[in-house]
Structures are given as structure tokens and as C-alpha cells.
Chains A and B, each alone.
Chain A
């Protein structure tokens, strides 16, 4: 069969053809050449003054250093008994990266590489500098001919959403399809069938929460730093990343909560006010969201605040419907609880990240193991919601993207 490379922008691995992509022989996870390549890429990015201007690139570059990959490898090795099994990549992974988180494509690619696969990554059509910087750096390394084993593993492409024939083609030749992004994207991509023996991993729309121990706010010396961490979890990506909390659970007695809220939100407003000016459309969208929620839920009350940085709407009881009332750009539901366990009614399968402040690791562990929650895939301290992990949405990616041979 002949495929014409029409309207396809190949950002890395310029010699890409679908035929070549199919002939790849899978590697073991954490292949030495792959780990070396990532380490060199890391150093290249960290040396580049332009790349260093992007905190998300810097975080990514640190994440793919050999020392960090070593830690991930140890974790992987603990999970397996290599006297009875060995793992190989599945083959070819087709990644559909989200349209609005620039660096996500790189993490998805690395997860595919580390599990021993060749990869075709479709990146957003938007012209993100981060995409260009990372793919240019990769292409420069590969161009030197020093990485003959790697170049066919890392194909990053771009094409218009309307050119569905590319999605169709990559879906036919891949062994695994990974779809990041919302429910609508998943429905759209699923119109294109996979081969019977291929599998799919989807990351659909999720809902995330944040639990705060009110007492801990009162005793916190540096609320400003805490506000910065909360900002990174929320406003930094318009509160529209799947990890961003939309519901804040305040735990404590009424009086303490009453004192803690203004301290916390005052600091958030102080920090966000400088970093995240509220565009008029965001202010109006949040007002619409509030009216919609008032009409829909009926048990809500808006907090009167000095400006539109954070629109906060208190709910007097928790139900699943709260999840349908999320907005973006600083719109929060709040619920006052005596105990952490009171949040259980809202913890459905859709709930992804619980970020927390003021609770010990043990307290969170106790809640998760005894609480019988159907949702929550990860718990992280406030400020860490965007940290990528090979364990995502409750799936350990290296295992999910590889084949285990037992003997």
C-alpha cells in the first residue's frame, strides 16, 4: 500500500514512513540506549538558555535525567520477578497529545520509549514554543547519526484535525493508542478502528479535589508560599488541567474554618492578582457558571469577595452533581467538613487527584484504605498536582504499554 505524506508535518524523524514504522522490533523497558538518549536530551535542554525560560521544559528535563530514570527503574524492578518473567514493549504506540498542555506530549513519548516502544506522537496544532524547542533539540541529536537505534522510535507529527485520514492510518498500524484530552476528543478518535489485537489507553475528563486542614492554615508561617503552590495547581493552567481542583474540602471545626479561609484566599488573591489578571470574558464566564450552579443545585451561596480572582461558591451538602458545575480560571466550590470522610459522596470514579494540605501521609492513607472510595487515583501534597508520574490515572504505564512473557 502506498501512503502519500500529504499535509503531514514531521517534526522529528524526518525519514518517517508508515512502512518503516511497522518493522520495529520492541525493546525491553528501560533500554540502555533509550536511557542514555534521554539523559543527553536532558543536558541539552538544560544548557539551552531559551529552553530554560520555560519552567515546564526545565521540569521535564530534570525528570528525564539518568538519576531520576534510575529511581523509576528501581521502582519498576521491584514490581517484577525477572526469574519468572521478562517484559517487551508492545510495538508501536500512537499518542494523541492534548491540544492545550504543551509539554504533555513529551511525557507521553517518554513513557512509550521507557516501556520499549516505537512512537508516533500527534501534537497539538497550536504553535507552542515548548513543542518546537523540545522537538528541535531531539532532531538535532538524531541528525548527527549517533543514535541509530533511537531515531525511528521518536516520530512527532502535526496535522490538521480535519485530516482524519492520518488518525485512521496511525490507528491501523499501531499496537497501542493513547488518547489524552477530553471526552469529546476520545469519541472523535474512536471513530477510527484499531486492529483486533491492538489496545487503547484513554485519559478522559476528570474531576479533582483539594482537602485542607483548617488548623494547619492558622499555624502555617508561610501562607504566601502555600498560595503559590495552590496557584501552580490551578490558575497556572487556567484551572483546566484534569489535575486541577474544583472543590475545596475544608476540614475542621466551624470557627477554625471561618478564620482559615480569609487567610488562605487572601494569599491566593495576592499571588494570583499579579500572575493571573482576570480577563473580562473569564469574569463573565465565572458569573454565568455561578448562576447556572445556583439554578441547578439550589443549596449554594456565593462568598462575597473583593474581586473576581477567585469566585467561591459554598455548597451545604455534597453530591455528584457538583462535578457538572465546574468552570475555569478561578472558580471554586467549597464545603466545610468535620472529618475528611465526609467527602466520600463526591468521590466518584471520575475523581482523579486529591491534593491536600495539613494532613499527614498516614491520615491520607487511612482515609483511602478505610474509606472505600470508588474514585481518586492519586493523592499529592498541594502544589504537586501537575507532577508527571509513570503511574497515571490509576495505570502503571510501563506495564500497560508492554507485554509480559512468563516462563
Chain B
């Protein structure tokens, strides 16, 4: 299917201005819409009821945005079962359904390529010695092997001589980390982990045990969501300044992404802004009427990605709130939209005499 992607895959991730990017995305996303319409019965039904004409000249803004929750309720796929090589699941909290995402060979390959192009824009093209702030048990445990395992595997591609910072019981191995840093003191060291794991284990547990680390020569990439930390009043600023003052760690990049659109992640630049690459886009929608918000106006985040070809996940409405900050003019020099994530939408307190189970 990926007839349209070839050329885009060779484009530097942050080089297209708004106009050229729109031209490229409208075409590819329009092709994906037609493909899924013709190959996924459930998607076809949604578009017909929407109602949306898949064959009209494509306009990214008007392509139906499927709520991400649908991937928890339905198996949505556009390729036959024998072509599915991998099923990814979100690491849902206990009791919740998890998303199931079906990948064929092309989609999986393109995810790897695109992730590589995006991340190397921040880390450089050379592989770096890598410390994974997690336990290797995450990859061994079939039950836990969800988004966390997949994230670690995906990012491991950018490292060499990898070590895990935590043992099987999630205890930080300070001596091991120090020895590793010493061994690679001439190089930049790549730290990777999930936001909450970084905060809880790399920062809190090590400091609480009275030890410290010198991470001034490291670059940290972290993602996975802020929910647990925001509950503890920790935001991106607190997070960054705590790591800076404790370990001298300055080079920190958060990323925003989801299992439903693996690969085309949104990386945080030196200015603290999340960036859409040429492989993806964000639209902020007003929850009142789902109209498109301009800059500086909070709304629901819609994510668009050129990658999902084996399942209809190229245009999704998330349950995250965010604000568009600008387009093509971030002081970091990268083109494309930049934005910030401000939280998740709150659950509703419903009146009435019926039981309510939704959300």
C-alpha cells in the first residue's frame, strides 16, 4: 500500500513549511482513508454514518477523527490476518481494556524508520552508549510486554553497550550506573525511560538512599504520560529542574506518543515545545463543537500520522488536552506545528437512575 510514503520517508523530519507539508499530508492521509474505507468494514460503516465521502479530494482537517477508545472496544484492521506480524497493546491500568493495534510488515518497518529519523534529529545519527531506566524483566515478562516493552525496544535502536538501570525488583543499581558512566566518560550517554520511572526510581529512590549521580554528560529521552506525576503536582518544569539540580542533567527531551500511532512521536525541543514532524500532525479541537482551534486555545488533541496502513488509526481524537503554540516559527528552528499537552479530560459525574459504566 505505501505507494505515497517513499518520497516522504527521505524527507528530513522538520524541514517542510506549512504549505508543502499540507500538500504531502492531504494526499497521503487521503489515500489511507480510501484504503481503510475499502478494506475495513467497521471503518467504512463509521465513514458512511459520519457521513464522509472517502473519495472526495482529501483535506486532512475534514477526515473523520476516530476516538482512540474505539481501539479498546473493537478489533480494527485493514489487512487480512495472515499479514499481521505483530499485535501491540497499550499498557492499560488494571481493570481497563487495552488497545489492540495490528501491524503488518510494512507498517512495522515504517514505524522503525520514522522513529529513527525523528530521534536522530535530536541525538545525532551515531549510536550512543545507552542506559535504560527500567528493569530487563519488562522485556522478559509477557504480561507486562505492552507499550513499555515496545518503547524500550524501539529506542534501543539508538544505543549500544546497553545496560538496565534497575534490577528485577526495580531497585536502582547506582554502582553499575557509575561504572558505566566512567567507562563512557568520553562520550555522550543516552538515557531512556518512562517519565514516571525516571522520576520515581532514577531521581527519588537514589536521592532517598543518600546517593547521587553526575549525569551532566547525558541526554535523556522520556515519555509515557504525565498522569501519575501531575497527581503529585510534578509538571515538566519541576521535572527538568529537579534533574538539573540533583544530577546536572540538562539535555532532556520529553516525547508525546501513543501505541495507536507508534513511530511518529512528538519530541520536545530545546525550547520545551513538542513538535509535529513531517510524518505527523496535530489539530486542536474545541470540545464544544469539534471545530478547529487556533494558537493558544486549549482543546482536545487530534493526532494524524502517515504510518497506520494496516489499521485505520491515521486520524485519531485523543482524550488529552493541549494547546497549539505555533507553526513553522519555533525559535529552535524546526518547521511544523509545535504544541504542549496540558492534561487529560476529566471523568464525568453522571446523574440519573441507570448504572453508568462508560469511561
Other-chain contact of B300, A280, A285, A295, A298 (Cβ < 8 Å): A280
Q: Residue B346 contacts which of A281, A302, A313 (CB distance < 8 angstroms)?
A: A281
Alpha-carbon distance A14/B197, docked complex (angstroms) = 51
Answer whether residue A201 sits at the interface, using C-beta atoms and an 8 A cutoff: no
Contact assessment for A328 and B350 in the assembled complex, using a CB-CB cutoff below 8 Å: yes
Q: Is the CB of B353 within 8 A of A181?
A: yes
Q: Complex Cα distance A239/B345, Å?
A: 21
**Which of A183, A306, A307, A328 contacts B356 (CB under 8 A)?**
A328
Is residue A300 contacting chain B, with contact meaning CB distance below 8 A? yes
* C-alpha spacing A397/B73, complex, angstroms: 41
Q: Which of B292-344 contact A (CB under 8 A)?
A: 300, 317, 319, 321
User: In the assembled complex, how far is the CB of residue B291 from the closest CB belonging to chain A, in whole angstroms?
Assistant: 8
Whether A241 contacts B352 in the complex (CB less than 8 A), given A281-B359, A294-B45, A301-B49, comes out as yes
Determine, out of B63-71, B91-99, B141-149, the stretch whose residues face the partner at the interface.
B63-71
Count A-B contacts at CB 8 Å: 126
B351 contacts partner chain A, Cβ-Cβ < 8 Å: yes
A166 in the interface, Cβ–Cβ < 8 Å?
no
A279 at the interface (CB under 8 A from B): yes
The segment out of A31-39, A97-105, A143-151, A154-162 that lies at the interface is A97-105
Residue of A nearest to B348 (CB): A281
In the complex, what residue of chain A is closest to B65 when comparing beta carbons?
A287
CB-contacts of A280-304 with B (<8 A):
280-285, 287-288, 290-295, 298, 300-302, 304
Residue of B70, B355, B356, B359 with most chain A CB atoms under a 10 A cut-off: B355
Interface of B is mostly: loop
B351 touches A240 (CB 8 A): yes
A293 to B67, CA, bound (A): 13
State A302–B50 Cα separation when bound (angstroms): 6
Number of interface residues of B (CB under 8 A): 35
Interface digits, A220-259 against B, CB 8 Å rule (1 contact, 0 not)?
0000000000000000011111101000000000000000
CA separation between A1 and B119, bound complex, in Å? 71
A278 within 8 A of B: yes
**CB–CB B352/A308 < 8 A:** no
Whether B352 pairs with A244 at a CB distance below 8 angstroms is yes
Interface size on A, residues (CB 8 A): 48
Q: Mark B45-82, 1 if CB is under 8 A from A, else 0.
A: 11011110000000000000011011001100000000
Determine if A238 and B352 form an interchain contact, defined as CB atoms under 8 angstroms apart: yes
Known A-B contacts A280-B287, A290-B49, A301-B49; the reply to A205 vs B354 at CB < 8 A is yes
Task: Bits for A259-287, please: 1 = Cβ < 8 Å to B, else 0.
Answer: 00000000000000000011111111101
B19 in the interface (beta carbon within 8 A): no
Are A308's CB and B288's CB within 8 A?
yes
Closest residue to A282 on the B side, CB-wise?
A: B348
* A242 neighbours in B (Cβ, 8 Å): 352-354
- In the bound assembly, the distance between CA atoms of A279 and B300 in angstroms comes to 11
Q: Given A278-B288, A280-B300, A301-B49, does the pair A98, B353 have CB atoms closer than 8 Å?
A: yes
Q: For the complex, what is the distance from the CA of A327 to the CA of B66, rounded to whole Å?
A: 17
Determine whether A335 belongs to the interface, using a CB cutoff of 8 Å to chain B: no
Q: Do A287 and B317 touch (CB < 8 A)?
A: yes
Q: How far is the CB of B321 from chain A (nearest CB, A)?
A: 7
Q: Are B347 and A281 in contact (CB under 8 A)?
A: yes
Q: Does B231 contact A (CB under 8 A)?
A: no
Q: How far is the CA of A295 from the CA of B64 in the complex (A)?
A: 14
| Interface presence of B42 (CB below 8 A) | yes
Q: CB distance B290 to A308 under 8 Å? A: yes
Closest residue of B by beta carbon distance from A295: B42
Q: How far is the CA of A253 from the CA of B327 in the complex (A)?
A: 51
How far in angstroms is the closest Cβ of chain A from B109? 29
- Residue in B67, B300, B321, B348 whose beta carbon sits within 8 Å of that of A291 in the complex: B67
Alpha-carbon distance between A402 and B48 when the two chains are bound, in angstroms? 55
Indicate whether B358 reaches chain A with its CB closer than 8 angstroms. yes
A-side contacts of B50, CB under 8 Å? 294, 302
A–B complex contacts, Cβ < 8 Å, 7 sampled: A101-B351, A203-B353, A238-B352, A278-B287, A284-B67, A288-B67, A313-B49
The 6 closest A-B pairs by CB, nearest first: A240-B352, A182-B355, A307-B289, A294-B49, A280-B287, A280-B345
- New contact pairs (20) apart from A182-B355, A301-B48, CB-CB < 8 Å: A104-B353, A181-B355, A185-B355, A237-B352, A240-B350, A280-B346, A281-B319, A281-B359, A283-B287, A283-B288, A283-B300, A284-B69, A285-B348, A288-B70, A290-B49, A291-B67, A294-B49, A301-B49, A307-B289, A308-B290
